[in-house]
C-alpha cells in the first residue's frame, strides 16, 4: 500500500495543478513540471485533509482512505472539465541549440543524479528512521497521530517533554497518513516521502529552468544542486527542511512562470498554494510568506501599478487560504506558543551588538560551507556569474520579487538568531546549514534564471 | 580589452566557466559516493531499531496511551539525553515524562542498572531485560 498512498497524494496534487493549470508551452513540455510540482502539492493537500480528518472524525481511520479516493474523483472531474475548455497553448519562444554541448551537460547531470540516488539509498539504509530530529520530533509526532487513536492530541501535551509542539504538521501528518494506508508504522513511509521531496525539488529546478531559459541552463543548475552533499544528507534525514525548500522554490518558480509564460491567474493561485503549504511545513514558512507579500507589494505596486497589484494579490491569497485556515486552526487550538523567541529580554538582546557580530560571522563562514562540498561551490558560482554575465530580457519583476523574498527571509533568520533566548552558538551550529539549504534551491533557480545560458554567452557579439 | 571580447576569448571564457563549475560539482558527487560507500558495508541494526527492540517488552506491559515517568535524569549527560529521546520514540504514543513524579516509572540503563540506583526510593515491579525496569515509587 506504500505506492498507492503516494500515488493517490500525487494524483490529488496533479488534479489541483491541472485544474489551475497555466498554459505554458504545450503538454509535452508542461507535464513534467506539473508532475514534480504535484508531489509537494499533493502530499501537502493530503496532509491538510488528514489533519482535518483527525480533528473531525479522529478514530475512524479506515474511512479516511475512502474519503481521499472520493476527493480525488471530484478533483479528477474538475481537471477533466478544465482540459475541455483550455485555450490554445502559447507558442514556444525559447530557441535552443541541440549540439554536443547539451549532450555533455545531460551526461553530467545524469551522473550527478545517479550518485545522489545511490547516496540517498545508502544514508536511508544506514538510518532508516532518519536522523536525530526525525525520530526526536517529526516521526515521533507522526507516531502520535497514527497510533494515538482518540489520544492523538497527547502530542501537544505539556506534561511530557514533547518537542517543538508549535511546529506545523505537514511532514508528520504526511508520514502518519502514509502509515494509515500501510497499517504499520514502518520506516518505508518516511523514507519514501523524503525521497519524493528531495528529488522533486531537483525536478522542479530542472523543468522550470528548461521552460524559462532552455535545457542546458536547467541541466547545469540541477547538477550543482544534486552535487551538494548536505542537501542529500538533509533530504535523507527525514527533516522538514528539504520539503520547505521545495515549497520556497515552487512559489518563486510559479511567480516567474506567471510573468514569463502564463499571464492567467492559475499560476499565481498555485504559487499562493505553495507558499501556504510552506507555512504548514515549518514556522519559517510563515516568515517566507510575509516576506513574499511585502516584496510583492513593494515591487508590483511600484512596477505595474495598484490595479495590477490588486489583481495579482487576490489569486495569490486565494491559493494560500486553505493551508492558512488549517494552520490558524492548528495554532489557535493546539499550539499557539513559539519556543524560539521569548519576549522577555528581547530588547536587551537586540541592543547587544556582540550578538550581531557572532551571527554575521557565522553566516559569513556558513555561506561557503553549508553544502559540505569538498570544494566550496558558492565562490565558483560567483566566478561563473561574472564570466557568463546577466541576461538582458525585459519583464523581470517576478525575479525581483523572488530575490527580495529570499533576501528578506534571510534577514528574518538573522534577526531570529539575534533575538533568540536559546544558546546562540549551539543554535547556529545545529541550524544554520539547514536554514541555508531551505533557501538554496530557490536561490539557484534565481541565479540561473538571471544569468546568460552558455549558448547565449557564446552567441554574444562584442559590446 | 579588444582581445578579451574576441570570439575566441569569449568561447574560452564560457567553456572554462562551465567546465570549472560542472567539474567541481561532479568531483563533489564522486566524493559523496566514496564517502557513503562505508555505510553500505555496515552490518547490524541501527540504533533506533535496536532501542525499539529493547523496549518491546515494556510496550506490552505498559498502557497504550497516557503517561509514564522516566529515570535516570536525561539532563545528566549527552548520552542520557539521547537515550531518553530514543526511549520516548520507542514508547510513543505514550507521553514520557522526564521527572520521576508518577507511577509507573521506566528505568532505562543500557549499560546495566547501577547498584546504588534503587536505594530504597523505588520498588522493581518487573525486570524487562536489556537494562529496562518497570518501577514504582516507594511509600506511595
How far apart, in whole angstroms, are the C-alpha atoms of residue A169 and residue A442? Answer: 22
Q: For residue A134, how many other CB atoms are within 10 A of its CB?
A: 26
Instruction: Give the count of beta carbons closer than 10 Å to the beta carbon of residue A86.
Output: 12
Asked if A106 and A219 count as a contact pair (C-beta separation under 8 A), the reply is yes
CA distances from A95 to A213, A262, A390 (A): 9, 18, 17
Query: Does the pLDDT value for residue A89 go beyond 60?
Result: no
- pLDDT greater than 90 at residue A456: no
Residue A46, chain B, CB below 8 Å: the answer is: no
Taking the C-alpha atoms of residue A316 and residue A313, their distance in angstroms, rounded to an integer, is 5
With H, G, I as helix, E, B as strand and everything else as coil, classify residue B105: strand
Kindly report the nearest CA distance between residue B71 and chain A, in angstroms.
13
Backbone angles phi, psi at B67, to 5 degrees: -135, 145
Asked if pLDDT for residue A93 goes beyond 70, the answer is no
Whole-number pLDDT of residue A159: 74
Which is more confidently placed, A454 or A97? Answer: A454
Q: Which of A129, A375, A463 sits opposite B46 (nearest CB)?
A: A129
Q: What is the DSSP string of B33-85?
A: HHHHHHHHT--S--HHHHHHHHTHHHHHHS-SSSEEEEES-TTS-HHHHHHHH
CA distance B5 to B20: 20
- Report the SS3 class of residue A22: coil
**Residues 211-240, chain A, touching B (beta carbon < 8 A):** 220, 223-224, 226-229, 232
Whole-angstrom CA distances from A34 to A41, A223, A243, A268, A278 are: 10, 21, 17, 14, 18
Mean pLDDT for A259-275 is: 87
B48: closest CA among B83, B76, B74, B98? B83
Give the integer Cα–Cα distance in Å for A252 and A76: 26
Q: Where are the domains of chain A?
A: 2-82+108-342
Q: Does position A314 have pLDDT exceeding 80, yes or no? A: yes
Separation between Cα atoms, residue B75 and residue B131, nearest integer Å: 19
Confidence label for A261 from pLDDT (cuts 50, 70 and 90): confident
Rounded mean pLDDT for each run of 10 residues along chain B, 140 residues in total: 73 92 97 91 85 92 91 83 92 90 88 74 86 82
Identify whether the C-beta of residue A316 lies closer than 8 Å to the C-beta of residue A271. Answer: yes
CB-based contact A172:A145 (threshold 8 Å): yes
pLDDT digits (tens, 9 = 90+) for A16-61: 998 887 665 556 678 899 999 999 999 999 999 999 999 998 767 7
pLDDT band at A380 (very low <50, low <70, confident <90, very high): very high
pLDDT of residue B76: 78
Which of the 8 DSSP states describes residue B128? -
A 115-154 residues with CB < 8 A to B: 115-116, 118-119, 122-123, 125-129, 132, 135-136, 139-140, 143-144, 147-149, 151-152, 154
Cell of B31: 566524493
User: Looking at the complex, does the CB of residue B11 fall below 8 Å from at least one CB of chain A?
Assistant: yes
Q: Are strands B105-108 and B132-137 parallel, antiparallel or unpaired?
A: antiparallel
- The least confident of A262-266, A350-354, A373-377 is A262-266
Return the C-alpha cell found at A104. Answer: 555533455
Task: Tell me which residue of A209, A241, A239 sits closest to A109, measured CA to CA.
Answer: A209
The stretch A231-255 carries a mean pLDDT of 97
Per-residue pLDDT band for A463 (boundaries 50, 70, 90) equals very low
ipTM of the complex: 0.90
Amino acid at each position: 500500500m506504500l505506492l498507492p498512498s503516494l500515488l493517490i497524494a500525487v494524483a490529488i496534487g496533479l488534479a489541483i495543478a491541472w485544474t489551475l493549470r497555466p498554459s505554458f508551452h504545450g503538454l509535452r513540455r508542461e507535464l513534467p513540471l506539473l508532475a514534480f510540482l504535484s508531489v509537494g502539492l499533493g502530499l501537502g493537500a493530503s496532509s491538510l485533509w488528514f489533519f482535518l480528518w483527525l480533528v473531525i472524525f479522529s478514530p475512524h481511520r479506515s474511512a479516511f482512505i475512502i474519503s481521499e479516493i472520493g476527493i480525488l474523483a471530484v478533483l479528477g472531474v474538475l481537471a477533466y472539465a478544465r482540459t475541455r475548455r483550455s485555450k490554445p497553448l502559447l507558442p514556444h519562444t525559447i530557441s535552443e541549440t541541440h549540439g554536443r554541448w547539451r549532450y555533455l551537460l545531460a551526461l553530467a547531470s545524469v551522473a550527478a543524479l545517479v550518485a545522489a540516488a545511490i547516496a540517498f539509498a545508502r544514508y536511508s539504509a544506514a538510518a532508516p528512521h532518519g536522523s536525530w530530529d526525525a525520530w526526536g520530533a517529526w516521526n515521533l509526532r507522526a507516531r502520535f497521530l497514527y497510533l494515538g487513536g482518540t489520544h492523538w492530541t497527547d502530542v501537544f501535551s505539556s506534561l511530557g517533554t514533547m518537542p517543538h509542539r508549535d511546529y506545523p504538521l505537514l511532514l508528520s501528518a504526511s508520514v502518519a497518513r502514509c502509515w494509515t494506508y500501510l497499517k504499520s508504522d514502518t520506516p518505508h513511509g518516511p523514507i519514501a516521502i523524503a525521497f519524493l521531496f528531495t528529488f522533486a525539488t531537483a525536478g522542479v529546478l530542472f523543468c522550470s529552468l528548461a521552460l524559462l531559459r532552455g535545457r542546458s541552463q536547467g541541466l547545469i543548475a540541477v547538477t550543482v544542486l544534486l552535487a551538494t552533499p548536505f542537501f542529500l544528507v538533509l533530504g535523507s534525514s527525514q527533516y522538514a527542511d528539504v520539503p520547505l525548500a521545495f515549497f520556497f522554490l515552487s512559489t518563486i518558480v510559479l511567480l516567474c512562470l506567471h510573468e514569463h509564460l502564463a499571464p492567467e491567474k492559475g499560476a499565481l493561485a498555485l504559487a499562493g498554494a505553495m507558499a501556504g503549504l510552506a507555512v504548514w511545513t515549518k514556522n519559517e514558512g510563515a516568515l517566507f510568506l510575509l516576506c513574499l507579500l511585502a516584496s510583492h507589494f513593494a515591487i508590483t505596486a511600484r512596477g505595474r501599478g495598484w490595479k495590477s497589484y490588486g489583481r495579482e494579490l487576490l489569486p495569490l491569497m486565494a491559493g494560500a487560504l486553505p493551508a492558512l485556515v488549517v494552520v490558524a486552526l492548528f495554532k489557535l487550538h493546539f499550539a499557539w506558543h513559539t519556543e524560539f523567541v521569548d519576549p522577555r529580554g528581547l530588547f536587551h538582546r537586540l541592543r547587544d551588538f556582540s550578538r550581531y557580530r557572532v551571527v554575521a560571522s557565522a553566516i559569513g563562514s556558513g555561506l561557503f560551507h553549508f553544502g559540505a562540498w569538498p570544494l566550496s561551490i558558492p565562490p565558483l558560482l560567483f566566478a561563473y556569474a561574472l564570466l557568463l554575465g546577466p541576461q538582458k530580457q525585459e519583464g523581470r519583476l517576478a525575479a525581483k520579487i523572488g530575490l527580495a523574498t529570499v533576501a528578506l527571509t534571510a534577514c528574518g533568520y538573522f534577526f531570529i538568531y539575534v533575538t533568540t533566548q536559546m544558546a546562540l552558538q549551539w543554535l547556529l551550529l545545529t541550524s544554520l546549514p539547514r536554514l541555508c539549504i531551505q533557501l538554496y534551491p530557490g536561490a539557484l533557480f534565481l541565479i540561473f534564471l538571471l544569468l546568460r545560458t552558455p549558448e547565449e554567452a557564446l552567441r554574444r557579439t562584442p559590446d | 580589452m579588444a582581445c578579451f571580447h574576441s570570439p575566441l576569448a569569449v568561447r574560452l571564457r564560457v567553456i572554462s566557466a562551465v567546465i570549472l563549475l560542472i567539474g567541481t560539482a561532479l568531483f563533489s558527487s564522486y566524493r559523496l559516493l566514496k564517502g557513503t560507500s562505508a555505510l553500505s558495508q555496515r552490518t547490524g541494526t541501527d540504533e533506533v531499531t535496536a532501542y525499539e527492540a529493547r523496549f518491546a517488552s515494556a510496550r506490552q506491559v505498559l498502557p497504550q496511551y497516557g503517561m509514564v515517568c522516566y529515570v535516570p535524569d536525561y539532563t545528566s549527560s549527552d548520552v542520557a539525553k539521547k537515550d531518553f529521546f530514543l526511549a520516548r520514540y520507542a514508547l510513543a504514543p505514550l507521553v514520557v515524562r522526564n521527572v520521576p513524579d508518577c507511577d509507573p516509572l521506566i528505568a532505562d540503563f543500557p549499560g546495566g542498572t547501577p547498584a546504588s540506583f534503587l536505594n530504597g526510593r523505588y520498588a522493581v515491579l518487573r525486570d524487562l531485560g536489556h537494562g529496562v525496569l518497570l518501577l514504582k515509587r516507594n511509600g506511595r
